[in-house]
Amino acid sequence: MAQTSHAAVDDACRLWYGSFGGVISTQSLAVPGYPFGSVVPICQDQAGRPLLLLSHLAQHSRNLSADPRCALTLFDRAAGDIQQGRRLTCIADCHPCSEADALARYCRHFPNGRVYAEQLGFRLYRLEPLRFHYNGGFATARWLSADRILLIVPWTTSTEESLLLRLRAERSERLAKLFSTLGWGGTDRTTELLCLGLDRWGLTVRDGERLRRLDAQQPLDDWGAVAAAVDHDQLQPPAAADWLIKP
């Protein structure tokens, strides 16, 4: 059965905001006219634009310096037929980003990124999405405009931080029970160390050297929605919910 447009956007957003790695394809300098693909860690900024920390020595960095046009492809990593899983390709321009808040956000997701940026000359980049192509399985492929994926009214950094603080303060026991049920962390871990990021589509959790994701069944537009999602067990991990933290 064909997927509705609304359902496609919903699935695409969950994949977009719940992925922390993908394949970036740049315009090759070494072999002009051909794409060059690289696997990269990513996280989204407050508006849903991907942040990447790249070495100046990397081939994809050199390619982007000459031509910022690129594509970023994300996909489900669950076992089984890869063509039956979700795939999302973003057509974008990619430019260096010098914002301190953006680097801090990246390093919150990938802590070793601070060393790479300050001691090894890695540079932060940000994608500016132009258009998306989503495929959720058989007969579901479609183009989506950028404004259907990116957050029209993104949370500010302070709003996200205040919601996370309130979540830790008022829902720590329920979260600890959920994490335990899922087999995440251990009795010696604290909820404060685990709750890392919050967006409209779910909660990001750091568990040791892994980033884990909990999808929200309903959009988390305010504190009431966040609290209800925790209280009524409306946060669930997707099929592939964890990523190794390697910047």
pLDDT at 23: 97
Structure confidence by residue, pLDDT tens digits, 191-236: 445 788 999 999 999 888 889 999 999 999 999 999 999 999 999 9
Report the DSSP beta bridge partners of residue 21.
41
Q: What are phi and psi of 67, to 5 degrees?
A: -155, 110
In this prediction, residue 139 has a pLDDT band, given cuts at 50, 70 and 90, of confident
Confidence band (pLDDT; 50, 70, 90) for 6?
Answer: confident
Q: Name all domains of the chain by residue range, CATH numbers in brackets.
A: 5-148 (2.30.110.10), 157-244 (3.20.180)
* pLDDT (0 to 100) of residue 3: 63
Kindly tell me the number of DSSP H helices and DSSP E strands found in the chain.
8, 13
Please list the alpha-helical segments (H only) found in 58-185.
59-66, 100-109, 113-119, 157-170, 172-182
**Positive/negative CA dihedral, 9, 14, 18, 21:** negative
3-state secondary structure of 160: helix
More confident residue, 79 or 109: 109
Between residues 14 and 245, the one the model is more confident about: 14
Q: What is the pLDDT of residue 4?
A: 73
Answer with the residue of higher pLDDT: 188 or 57.
Answer: 57
Instruction: Check residue 193 and give its pLDDT.
Output: 53
pLDDT of 186 reads 57
The better pLDDT of the pair 154, 168 is held by: 168
Least confident among 75-84, 153-162, 238-247: 238-247
Which one has a higher pLDDT value, 155 or 48?
A: 48
Interval 76-108: pLDDT, tens: 876 677 777 899 999 999 999 999 999 999 999
Position 187 confidence tier, pLDDT thresholds 50, 70, 90: low
Lowest-pLDDT range of 6-10, 32-36, 185-189: 185-189
- CA-to-CA separations, 122 to 11, 81, 125, 201, in angstroms, rounded: 33, 36, 10, 30
